[in-house]
Amino acid sequence: MKGKRFLDEAKSFRDMKSLEKMKKEKRSVRGRTLDDWLLSPQEFKKLKKNFEEHVQQLVNGGLRYGRIIEVQKRNVFLAEEDEKGMPITENLWLCSIAKRHFQRAHKERNFVVVGDRVLFAPDTGIEFDDDGEPTNTDLPRGVVQHAFARTSQISRQDPLNAAWDHVMLANIDLVVIVASVLHPEVRFGLLDRFLVQSEQEELPAVIVLNKVDLLQNPKLATPAFLQNYHNRIKIYRDIGYEVLEICALKPKTTKEAITRLRQIFKGKIVGFAGHSGVGKSSIVNLMKPEFEQIVDEDPAIFYKGRHTTTYNSLLHLGIGAYAIDTPGVRSFHMKGIGPQELSACFREFRPFACMYRECAHDKEEGCAIKKAVQEGQISRERYRSYLGILKGISFREGEGDDTDALMIADLKAREQVRDNNNKE
């Protein structure tokens, strides 16, 4: 037994190590620090050494620290930051992005995303909205000049351009993955993709299942449905994720879970991830009354010039927390991820020592992960999710509870194509 444990640890250590290495590489690709935005290579080299000093010089020269609150096509809303780096939502600015950033080749859909930390120059007289019309707002203006490297991000492959990342959230402390038990049903495929991202980024994740009131309706929730629901939820609890079942409409009926949620949010920058219509806004609203009691702030100022919630928005919650609401995510295609990194992101795979170094845990004979699935130590559903992500299958809108079935069908179709190609 002891020997097996040692093996387990060795295996997870190896996984963690390769994960570390890949993360480092990724960070250096992503490592968009303040400097490489506009400096010559010589200046860049010099700056590396004196980063802090350089930033201080920029600040002395009149630039200010800000955090992106909302991103629109051409403009962003940002809040100044206090000395601890928390956004001060009453000090809102409407800013454009310095033009030179649009002229460079880029790997991401947007230059800055909600949660990004930037340096901006106040008052340069940019006064046009998305349609090129002069804007009509009382907010002070500025131009975003530089962005800092991110500590964390949640992203997908941009559905508009496969070569780009669509980063949805940046610099968060916690991901809250929200789904509803019914209307719409939980998309486990999407849930697993968000979980993989949080593991990759080493961000704690909490799963919130909303609308549990609908489980009381026998027409909607048949015994078979309920049984499946409870089985699926148990899988996540068993592997150590916190799952909170709540009713945002009648919060008193799930008081304990909501109190727990408040407790978890406290003092954190919280990223809400989830499909539209699952109740993210309702949950954010739930947290508000407390906030209005403790903070003297005119909400009208915050909402001035706001678009609909289709844009990401960083909302000021009660209890000193902030939340970032992702837009409704209709599809979620993860960028290519190899079997080693991916299996390390499935936390329940880690204890199983697979004898093959480069094993994809797919068709290989004698694979320990596959064996664990057969023996019921790893759930079939999660294993299928793993295969789906590995083979680059997108999560797509409209799959309902048949995500897995569709994934398998998609998988088979691809394999068929591949086999046919090999024959030729």
Please tell me whether residue 359 binds Zn ion under the rule CB under 5 A: yes
Please tell me whether residue 205 binds ligand GDP under the rule CB under 6 A: no
# residues contacting ligand GDP (CB under 6 A): 14
Q: Answer whether 201's CB lies under 8 Å from 339's CB.
A: no
Please tell me whether residue 210 binds ligand GDP under the rule CB under 6 A: yes
Rounded distance between C-alpha atoms, residue 225 and residue 180, angstroms: 14
Q: Which does 361 bind (CB under 5 to 8 A by kind): Zn ion, ligand GDP, none?
A: Zn ion
Which C-beta is closer to ligand GDP: that of 329 or that of 368?
329
Please tell me whether residue 214 binds ligand GDP under the rule CB under 6 A: yes
Q: Which of 112, 354, 373, 407 binds Zn ion (CB under 5 A)?
A: 354
Q: Which of 249, 319, 353, 408 binds ligand GDP (CB under 6 A)?
A: 249
Backbone region of residue 392 per phi and psi (left: phi > 0; alpha: psi in -120 to 50; beta: other values): left
Which C-beta is closer to ligand GDP: that of 251 or that of 351?
251
**Cβ contacts of 255 within 8 Å, gap of 6 or more:** none
Rounded distance between C-alpha atoms, residue 298 and residue 74, angstroms: 26
HEC string for 6-74: HHHHHHHHHHHHHHHHHHHHHHHHHCCCCHHHCCCHHHHHHHHHCHHHHHHHHHHCCCEEEEEEEECCC
Binding mask 282-321 toward ligand GDP (x if CB under 6 A, else -) reads x---------------------------------------
Q: Which does 359 bind (CB under 5 to 8 A by kind): ligand GDP, Zn ion, none?
A: Zn ion
Please tell me whether residue 373 binds Zn ion under the rule CB under 5 A: no
For residue 153, the one-letter residue type is Q
Which C-beta is closer to ligand GDP: that of 220 or that of 355?
220
Which C-beta is closer to Zn ion: that of 121 or that of 359?
359
Which C-beta is closer to ligand GDP: that of 307 or that of 412?
307
Q: Answer whether 210's CB lies under 8 Å from 239's CB.
A: no
Minimum Å distance from CB 3 to ligand GDP? 49
Please tell me whether residue 350 binds ligand GDP under the rule CB under 6 A: no
CB atoms within 10 A of CB 352: 21
Please tell me whether residue 280 binds ligand GDP under the rule CB under 6 A: yes
Please tell me whether residue 372 binds Zn ion under the rule CB under 5 A: no
Torsion sign (Cα): 121, 77, 193, 208: positive
**Structure token digits, residue 101:** 């950033």
Rounded distance between C-alpha atoms, residue 309 and residue 210, angstroms: 19
Binding mask 309-348 toward Zn ion (x if CB under 5 A, else -) reads ----------------------------------------
For residue 88, the one-letter residue type is I
**Structure token digits, residue 211:** 């609308």
| Site of interaction with ligand GDP (CB under 6 A) | 210-211, 213-214, 247-249, 276-282
Contact footprint for Zn ion (CB under 5 A):
354, 359, 361, 367, 369
